Amino acid sequence: MIDITVEHLGKRIDTTDSGRITPLIILEDISFHIASSDTVAIMGASGSGKSTLLSLMAGLDVPTSGRVLFNKQDLNRLTEAERTKLRGKHSAFVFQQFHLMPHLTALENILLPYALLIKEKSKPSISSAEAKEQAKNVLNEVGLYPRKNHFPSELSGGEQQRIAIARAFILSPAILFADEPTGNLDTKTGEKIIDLLFGLNSKKRSTLVFVTHDKALSTRCDQQYQLHAGHLHS
Amino acid sequence: MNHLFMRFWGRNLKMPACRIMLFCLFLVMTNISALSLSIVRIQNTLTKQAAEFLGGDLKLSSPTPLSPEIRHLVQEKGLNSAETVEFLTMLSHEENRILSEIKGVDTHYPLIGTIQIFTSDPTQIKAVKQGPDVGKIWLEPRLLSLLHAHLGDRIKLGTKFLTIEYLLQAEPDKLNSGFFSPRAMVNQSDLSETGLIQAGSRVQYYLLLTGTEQQLKAFQTSVAPKLQATQTLIQAMKNKSIAQKILENTSLYVYFCGFINLLLAGITLYFSVKHYLHSQIPWVAFLKCTGISQKTLTKWYLSGFMLLGGSSLLLGALFGHWLSLWGLSLLGQYLPQLGETQAPWFIILLGFFSFNLLFLSFIFPFIRQLSQTPGIRVLHPQTVSPTFNVSYYVLGLGFLCLVPFLLIGSLKIVLMLIGGFLATLAVSILFLSGLLKIVSYLYPKMHPIYQYIFAQLMHRRTESMVQLLIFTLLLSIMGTLYTIKTELIAAWVSNLPQNTPNYFLINITEETRAPLETYAKNHHLTLNGIYPTVRGRLFQVNGKPLLDPEHYSDKRGLNRLWNLTFSDTLPPKNTILNGSWFSHAAVSHNAIAPTIQTEVSIEKDIAASLGLEIGDVLSFQVDEQIIEAKLSSIRSVSWQTFQPNFFAIFPASIENNFIKSYLTSIYIPNSDSTSLKSLSSTFPSIFIIDIKMLISQIAVLYEKVSALINGLFLYSLLFSLLIFFSIVRANAQESMRHYKILQVIGICPTTIERLRFGEYAILGVLSGLSAIIIMTISSHALLHQVFNLPYHFMPILIIIGIMFGPILGFLSKHPL
C-alpha cells in the first residue's frame, strides 16, 4: 500500500533566449496527498506541467524545491539507482505512446520487463513457467489472450494500449502512473481502456494517478487536480 | 529468461539498424583478419624469398677460396653452411662448344629450398635437396639443345667428361646470379679434375649460411675484421630481387588499403552502433521507468552483443582469413602458403584480441551510455538524450591504429599512415571551414530556394561539417587509392612492354660493334642502345679513401668492380633527382699523372649509402688510369626494366681514353630459335645472356599483383560505397522528416523535391571540390614519397569530383 505526499514542490529549468539564460518556472509550490488505493486525475492545458508533476511523483526527476514523500520516504534523499529500485518494487506506468517492442509478440512484451525485474530480485523469484502463466492470465484479463502471439504492428492502437496495461499490471504495482493513456485513442476505445484500468484498480487495490485532458476520465477519479501555469487548483 | 533473451536478440536481427551494425562488425573483423593475415603472409614470404633468392640468410662472396679461419668461425657459431663455386667456361659436346655458367656445389647445397630437376617431361618436376653426384652434370634445357646433346651423353668440362643426368629447372639462388649464360651444375669434387680452376682464374666462391638471428649477428660481427676488401657479406633482406621489389610495393599498397579500410570500418562501426543503440533509447527509457536498473540493462545489452556481435566478429575473422588466402593465392608461387599449424592459432589470438578491442572501444562505451538513459526521457523525449561521447570514438580509432602497428611492426609505416590520415583530415577541415565561411557571406544574396538550403546547412553547422567531411574523405581516399593503383599498374606495364629485351649481349668489341649493328638491321632485330663499358673501382671520395665497408649500409658500391659507361644523354627510365646532367662536361688531363678530370652521374641508392653529395669529387681507377670526377647528378634508375643500368655514367667525351667493350639488349621472339643460333654462331665472341625466363616470371608476377591490387581497390570501393549509401540513407531519412513538416504547412512537392535535391547537390559540390584538391595532394605525396612513382593527372577523378554534386542530389531522392 502506497501513499504519496507532495510538499511545496517546485520545478524550474533554465532556458537560453538570444544567448541569455532565463529561468522558466514549470511547477511552483505544489502540495497535496494521495492515499493508498486512491484514484487521482491531474488535469491541465498543454504545457501546464502535468507530465513534470507525474515524473516528480514517480521519482523519474528531481524537484528544484519541495519534496515528494513516497510512503514517507523522501525521494530527494535517494540516489537515482535507489529511486529506480523503488519504482521497480511499487510502481508501473502506462503512457500515451505504448512503448512496445515492435519485434516482440504481445506475450513477450509483457514478459520481458517482468523477467528483467525478477532477475534483479526486485520482485519475488518465480519460475519462467509461472511468469508465463501470469502473463497469460493478465492478457486474459485485458481480453487479448487470443492475440498473445501477435506483434504490435498487427494490433490496433486500443489493443496495443491494452497490452501496455497488461504489462503494467503483471507487476502487481501498488501505484500506477498513467500519462494520457487515452490520448492516442478514439473516444470509444478510450472509454474501454478507462474501464479496464478502473476494473483492475478495484481488483488489485492499486493507487491510480492519471495525467489527462479527458474530463470524463477525471470525473471517475476520487480526486481531481487542475494545473494552471505551474500552480495547482483542486 | 533464456528463451526471452534468445527471442529478443533473435528478433533484433530483423531490425535494419541491428543488421547494419552487425554487418559493420563483420566487415571490421574481415578487414582486420584479411589485413593481418595478408601482412603476415607477405612478410613471411618476403623474408623467405629473400633467403631463397640468396640461397641462405647470409652469403659470403669471394673471388678467392675461403680461408680456414672463416670456415672455423662458421663452425664456432653453429651455423649451417654450404659452399658453391661459379665461373664461366666452355662446355663441349662433339663439335659444339657453348659458353656456360658452371656452378659447383657441395653436398650441403641447397641450404634453403630445393633444386628442381626433370628428365624429359618438364611437367614432371622433381624437387631435390642435394646437387649432382660425382661424375654427373645437370644442365639447363636450352644448354642441352645448344650442345645438341641428350640425357645420358657425356660432355666435356675442361679435361673431365661428365654424364648429363638431369635437366635443371630452378635452383634457390638462381635469380641472384651475376651471369645469365646457360647454367650447368656439377659436384664441387669434380672441379679439381677439370683443370679449369687455377691461380688467377676468374672464379667466384660463395659461402651460404643459415642460422638463428643471434648466430648470424654474432658471425657477422666476428667475420667483419677478417674479410678482405674483395669479399662481400650479403644479408638476405638487403639483397632485393626485382620480384621482391614488386612485392614490396604491392605490400605497401596492401598496408595502405588495409589501413584505410580499417579506418572506414571504424567510422562505419561508430555510426552503425550509435544508430542501433539510438533506436533502443525509448525502450531503455521505458524499462528504466519501470524500475529496471542500469546494471541489469548493461548486462542485458552486453550479453546480447556478445552473442550477436561475437558471432559477427567470428564470421568476419573466418571470412577475412578466407579472403586473405584467396587474394594472396592470386600470387601463386610467389607467396607460398603459411605453415598449417601457424594460421589457426594466429586467427584465434587475433580474433580474441580484436574482439576485446572492438568491444572495449566501440561497443561497451555506447552500451554504458545507453543504459544510463534516464527514465524521464519517456516523458520528455526531445529534451533528454544520452550523450554519446566522441572521445570514446577517438579512443576506438586509436585502438584500431594499433592493429596495423602490431601487424606491420614498422612504426615508420604506421606513423606515416596515421600522419597522412590526420593531415588529410586537418586539410579537409580547414578547407571545408573556409568554404562554409565563404558560403555564409554569400548565401543571403542568393535565390530564396538556395537561401533556404544554405540557411539549413548553416543552422546545422556541425552536422553539415561532419557530413561534408565524411563525403570529402571518402571521395579523396578512393581517388587516392585509384590513382596509386593506376600508377602502379601503369609503371609495371611500361616496365615490360611487348618487345622487352630478353637477351643481353655483352663483351662486344670495337671490331664487332659495326657488324653486329648491320646484322641486327638485316635481321630486323632492334638493339636497345649500345653502351660502352669499362670495369672500374671507386677508391676515393674528396681525396679521402673510402671508409671500412661496415660504415656503409649498402655495400654494393664497395670492394667490387663496377661496369662504368659513357653517355651524353640520360638513358631511358633514368631520372635526375639532384644536380644536372652534364651538358658541357669539362675534360682535362693532368699533366703529371694519367688523371682525367671530368663529371659523373651516380645512381641514388649508391649515392645515399656512400653519403655522396653534388659537387663531391669521386676518384675511380680504370685499368692504369685515374678518373677524378665531380658528382654532377644523382639519378634514379628503374631496376625493374630490362635495360642495361649503370651505377656511374661519365661523359662520352672521355670514352676514347679506355679500352672498352660494349653491351646491349635485344628482343628475339621466343619462337624464333634460329635467330638466336645464327647470332650466336655469327658472333662467337659475344656473350649472350638469356633473361627470357626471368622476364616471363616477372610478367606473371606483374599480372598477379595487378589482379591483387585491382581486387583490393574494388573491395575498398565497395566498402566505401556501402558507407556512403548508409550515410546518405540515414541523412535522407532525417531530412525527410523535416521536409514532411514543410509539406504539412503547404509547400508544394515539386519545391520540396528541389530543396532536397539542392541540399544534397550543394553538399556534393562542396565535398567534391575539396576532394579534388585533397586527393591530388595526397596522391602526389604518396606516389613520390612512398611508392617512388611519378604522378599523372587523372581527368576522370576531376569529372567525378565535379559530378558528385548532381550524383548526391539524385541519390537523396533515391536513397536505395
pLDDT on residue B176: 42
The CA distance from B646 to B601, in Å, is: 10
The CA distance from B27 to B315, in Å, is: 9
Burial state string for A133-164 with b = 16 or more CB within 10 A and e = fewer than 16 = ebbbebbebbebbebbeebbeebeebbbbbbb
What percentage of chain A's residues is helix, strand, coil (to nearest 5)? 40, 30, 30
Residues listed for chain B: 816
The CA distance from B277 to B362, in Å, is: 12
- Measure Cα distances from B186 to B63, B82, B346 in Å: 19, 14, 43
Do B293 and A179 make contact, defined as CB atoms within 8 angstroms?
A: no
Tens digits of residue pLDDT in B285-324: 888 888 888 888 888 888 888 888 888 888 888 888 888 7
Give the burial class of A78: count Cβ atoms within 10 A of its Cβ; 0-12 exposed, 13-18 middle, 19 or more buried: middle
Do B375 and A84 make contact, defined as CB atoms within 8 angstroms?
A: yes
B588 pLDDT more than 60: no
B290 has a chain A CB within 8 A of its CB:
yes
The CA distance from B626 to B664, in Å, is: 26
Greater model confidence, A195 or B40 = A195
Sort out which chain A residues have CB atoms less than 8 A from B3's CB and list them. Answer: 128
Out of B3, B300, B379, the one facing A116 most closely (by C-beta) is B300
Q: What is the crossing angle of helices B692-744 and B795-813, to 10°? A: 30
Chain B residue closest to A180 (CA)? Answer: B379
Residue found by looking up cell 532477475 in the block? A119
**Nearest alpha carbon to residue A26 among B285, B282, B379, B290:** B379
The CA distance from A104 to A87, in Å, is: 24
Q: What is the crossing angle of helices B364-371 and B242-289, to 10°? A: 10
Cα of A131 to nearest chain B Cα, Å: 10
Cα of B16 to nearest chain A Cα, Å: 12
Full-model pTM: 0.65
Do B378 and A95 make contact, defined as CB atoms within 8 angstroms?
A: yes
B584 has a chain A CB within 8 A of its CB:
no
The CA distance from A94 to A87, in Å, is: 13
Sort out which chain A residues have CB atoms less than 8 A from B6's CB and list them. Answer: none
DSSP secondary structure letters along B328-388: HHTTGGGSPPPPTTHHHHHHHHHHHHHHHHHIIIIIHHHHHHHHT--GGGGT-TTT-----
DSSP 8-state class, residue B756: H
The proportion of chain B whose per-residue pLDDT surpasses 70, expressed as a percent, equals 83
Tens digits of residue pLDDT in B327-370: 777 665 555 544 443 455 666 676 677 777 777 777 888 888 88
Sort out which chain B residues have CB atoms less than 8 A from A169's CB and list them. Answer: none
Over its C-alpha atoms, chain B yields an Rg (Å, rounded) of 33
Sort out which chain A residues have CB atoms less than 8 A from B378's CB and list them. Answer: 60, 93, 95, 97, 99
Which runs of consecutive H residues, i.e. helices, occur in B496-569? 510-522
pLDDT band at B44 (very low <50, low <70, confident <90, very high): low
CB distance B113 to B176 below 8 Å = no
Chain A residue closest to B284 (CA)? Answer: A99
Sort out which chain B residues have CB atoms less than 8 A from A179's CB and list them. Answer: 379
Do A87 and B291 make contact, defined as CB atoms within 8 angstroms?
A: yes
Do A115 and B291 make contact, defined as CB atoms within 8 angstroms?
A: no
pLDDT band at B815 (very low <50, low <70, confident <90, very high): low
Sort out which chain A residues have CB atoms less than 8 A from B379's CB and list them. Answer: 51-52, 54-55, 60, 95, 179
Neighbours of B64 (CB within 10 A): 12
Tens digits of residue pLDDT in B363-373: 888 888 888 88
The CA distance from A86 to A159, in Å, is: 29
Out of A60, A111, A122, the one facing B376 most closely (by C-beta) is A60
Mean pLDDT over B761-785 rounds to 86
CB distance B116 to B171 below 8 Å = yes
CB distance A12 to A26 below 8 Å = yes
B131 pLDDT more than 60: yes
CB distance B215 to B78 below 8 Å = yes
- Mutation target for B interface from A82, A103, A117, A171: give the one with most B CBs within 10 A: A103
DSSP secondary structure letters along A172-209: --SEEEEESTTTTS-HHHHHHHHHHHHHHHHHHT-EEE
Do B379 and A51 make contact, defined as CB atoms within 8 angstroms?
A: yes
Which residues between 11 and 50 in chain B have a beta carbon less than 8 angstroms from any beta carbon of chain A?
Answer: 11-12, 14-15
The CA distance from B442 to B447, in Å, is: 11
- Average pLDDT score, chain B: 79
Chain B residue closest to A55 (CA)? Answer: B376
- Mutation target for B interface from A11, A57, A116: give the one with most B CBs within 10 A: A116
The CA distance from A91 to A68, in Å, is: 15
Out of B11, B296, B378, the one facing A116 most closely (by C-beta) is B296
ipTM score here? 0.88
Do A55 and B293 make contact, defined as CB atoms within 8 angstroms?
A: no
CB distance B167 to B138 below 8 Å = yes
Greater model confidence, A175 or B379 = A175
The CA distance from B208 to B234, in Å, is: 10
Burial state string for B134-171 with b = 16 or more CB within 10 A and e = fewer than 16 = ebbbbbbebbbebbebeeebebebbebbbebbbbbbbb
Torsion, CA B14, CA B16, CA B19, CA B20, rounded to 10:
180
pLDDT band at B737 (very low <50, low <70, confident <90, very high): low
The CA distance from B170 to B696, in Å, is: 14
Do A104 and B375 make contact, defined as CB atoms within 8 angstroms?
A: no
CB proximity list for B246: less than 8 A, separation 6 or greater: B492, B640, B698, B701, B702, B705
The CA distance from B482 to B476, in Å, is: 10
Read off the amino acid at residue B672: D
A78 has a chain B CB within 8 A of its CB:
no
B236 pLDDT more than 70: no
Tens digits of residue pLDDT in B522-552: 888 888 888 898 888 888 888 888 755 555 5
Residues of chain A short of pLDDT 50, as ranges, are: none
Chain B residue closest to A98 (CA)? Answer: B286
* Torsional class of B528: left (φ above 0), alpha (ψ -120 to 50), beta (otherwise): beta
pLDDT on residue B178: 41
The CA distance from B387 to B225, in Å, is: 67
